[in-house]
Chains A and B, each alone.
Chain A
Amino acid sequence: MTTTTPTPRAAPPRRPRRLLFGNRPTRSPLLRALVKHSVMIITLVLMLYPLLWMVGASFRPDNQVFSTLGLFTGDFTTDNYRDGWTGGDQLNFSRFFFNSLTLTVLCIAGNLISCSLTAYAFARLDFRFKKTLFALVIGTLLLPYHVTLVPQYILFNQLGWVNSFLPLVVPKVMATDAFFIFLMVQFIRALPRSLDDAARIDGCGHWGIFRRVIVPLSIPAFGTTALFTFINTWNDFLGPMLYLTEPGTWTVSQGLASFLDATGQSAYGSLFAMSTLSLVPVLGFFIAAQKLLVEGIATSGLK
């Protein structure tokens, strides 16, 4: 009974609508596009306005930072950037940017090398306990990091690694980012095995196949891994906060957070200036590799 009723009911309401909007069935596609684009643009403006406002505020003198809702009104100054960049002894952002950059490069290198080696074994080789070990990779994908947070801290503390980059870099060199292993396994499995066989006939061992066949063909997966490692490391706050306690070793995230703690209303200009600057590398990277990235996310389901 219920299954037959919707069809006849769905049809009649159309007629009265036509009376109201005389030309509805042939409503101009131009008008529709206009409505849609308006919705998009309004949503975008609402979303991105805070960011634009921050950029604007970073170019205003300190006493005018909060004075306006407008973007680029008020006096113009670059003092905030100069003050933040050179700073005092404590908040020297040139140092923080250098630290963040070093850390990021090391983490990217660690992830690329270790995850690709691991992924090659899982994607191409047959060995004992393969299923069990791969289940382990999957298992750690969803494991909350909290459960290793305390013991890892105790371990690195015992090793005397606090206040160095080692606690943040060494785990990457040891392929602890299960997601990127998974990503690369999926990618390598999709590459034709005939290429491996051809290389084998030419005398390549596993190392040769890996280096001469798999790595060059996996550049897109390497790119995605590098970009997301970059973003994760650059934005990371908890890790550096635990392990980098001396201001000389701080990353940009810590610098910004301490800005917030230590200073009153008077330094918000510099905070916004340095915040703006800290977003530039991430957004720059993204804009440069936009297509690769978005396609990669769409196909791999990466966050």
Chain B
Amino acid sequence: MKENVAGGAGRAAERLPRPATQQPIAVRGRGRRAAGDNRAAYAFLTPWLIGMAVFTIGPMLFSLYLAFTRYDLSSAPEWIGLDNFRRMFTTDPRFFDSVDVTLTYVLWSVPLLLAVSLGLAMLLNRGMRFLTGYRALFYMPSLIGGSVAVAALWRQIFGEEGIVNKALAAVGIDHGSWVGDPGSALYTIVVLQVWTFGSAMVIFLAGLRQIPQELYDAAAVDGAGPVRRFRSVTLPMLSPLVFFNLLLSVVNAFQAFTGAYVVSNGTGGPSDSTLFYTLYLYEQGFAQLNMGYAAAMAWVLVLGLAVFTGLLFLSSRYWVHYGDER
């Protein structure tokens, strides 16, 4: 039984993207003890194996089945073949709205977040005083950016009477509510995401410290100016971390929920302008009880994200440099 679970699960995992850090665990010529380890190992693994089967693999298979059904929690699931997917791609404009909103959000927030975090990390790196203090303060928003408290605050800041408008009024600019305007509501959430750049910055800072000073000295001797040094030394040396941060922020951005829910009061409004994919999935599944449709949406997201991250991994061959290659 255990072997069946493991085998099926292994194949499921192969379809998923893998992070660059994956290393096969070294098996160190301990074959003579392997038989003894088997029992102990599976004893240690029992909670995880149960959790994997009951809370991950099982639900995944069940949601794959649900994706081809109509199910509202009260009656049995009804098999409807590809209808959910057909509806998604042909007759549901809100689905496309949600894809559009999510992609717009990813394409704005991720590059901005990376640029801000890298820029500040480079400024901080050059032997500044109070480095740890600055670092901690910049990091703080990352801890609370996903909370309801901050999302609620955001709604007030960018509201009609919010402090953003108060500050603008002081310089003579008059503007209505930012969260109430379909043209700007999404960008207030982009700002919220970029506000949490601290965690990426901390990772960049750690990476910058690893770049040997000799490389910069050599570049300076060759007459490279600051721009050239950044392009030819800093960026290539830092590229594994840029890739890592890019991957994490993309995955995070695709799954954003709390900010959009709170800022739009759970509606994805105004005019569906903040109808994030996750928000729409939640609405379909748990407000309208179209659980089959929600499951289908979840699988489309998994595949979409797999393709997206797969492309990132493919592209990484051309721009990510690991120290051990020549």
Contact = CB atoms under 8 A, between A and B. Distances in A.
Contacts of B262: 237, 257, 260
A36 B58 contact: no
Contacts of B153: 50-51, 54, 272, 275
A266 B225 CA distance: 58
Contacts, number: 312
Nearest to B141: A47
A151 B44 contact: no
B157 to A, nearest CB: 5
Contacts of B108: none
Given A131-B24, A136-B9, A138-B18, A144 B305 contact: yes
Contact of A298 (B17, B56, B206, B266): B206
A23 interface: no
B228 A175 contact: no
B40 A206 contact: yes
Contacts of B1: none
A206 B38 CA distance: 12
Given A53-B163, A142-B16, A129 B59 contact: no
Contacts of B257: 237-238
A282 B16 contact: no
Contact of B129 (A33, A146, A282): A33
A115 B27 CA distance: 21
B161 interface: yes
B137 A147 contact: no
A139 B12 contact: yes
Interface residues of A, number: 105
Interface stretch (B78-86, B88-96, B296-304): B296-304
Nearest to A134: B25
A59 to B, nearest CB: 15
A238 B199 CA distance: 22
A283 B58 contact: no
Contacts of B162: 66
Contacts of A301: 21, 203, 244, 248
B304 to A, nearest CB: 9
Contacts of B22: 135, 138
Given A121-B45, A133-B6, A298-B206, A303 B252 contact: yes
Contact of B146 (A43, A114, A174, A235): A235
B173 interface: no
Interface string B155-167: 1110001110011
A253 B143 CA distance: 14
Contact of A157 (B73, B261, B301): B73
A126 interface: yes
Contacts of B252: 303
Dominant secondary structure at the B interface: helix
B144 interface: yes
Contacts of B305: 142, 144
A290 interface: yes
Contact of B148 (A139, A257, A276, A287): A257
Nearest to A7: B223
Nearest to A68: B166
Interface string A102-143: 000000000001100110111101111111111110111111
Dominant secondary structure at the A interface: helix
Interface residues of B, number: 118
B55 interface: yes
A272 B136 CA distance: 24
Given A151-B59, A151-B63, A260-B155, A50 B163 contact: yes
A242 interface: yes
B41 interface: yes
A173 B47 contact: yes
A286 interface: yes
Nearest to B134: A40
Interface stretch (B174-182, B281-289, B314-322): B281-289
A125 to B, nearest CB: 4
B294 interface: yes
A81 interface: no
The 10 closest A-B pairs by CB, nearest first: A174-B51, A139-B13, A151-B59, A275-B149, A298-B206, A127-B41, A121-B44, A132-B10, A175-B48, A148-B59
19 contacts: A40-B123, A47-B141, A50-B153, A69-B166, A121-B44, A131-B25, A133-B10, A136-B12, A140-B52, A142-B251, A150-B298, A173-B51, A174-B50, A174-B52, A176-B51, A253-B258, A260-B265, A283-B143, A286-B139
Given A69-B167, A144-B251, A294-B202, 13 more contacts: A37-B129, A125-B41, A132-B7, A146-B297, A150-B294, A151-B62, A153-B286, A157-B73, A171-B55, A174-B55, A175-B51, A261-B265, A297-B199
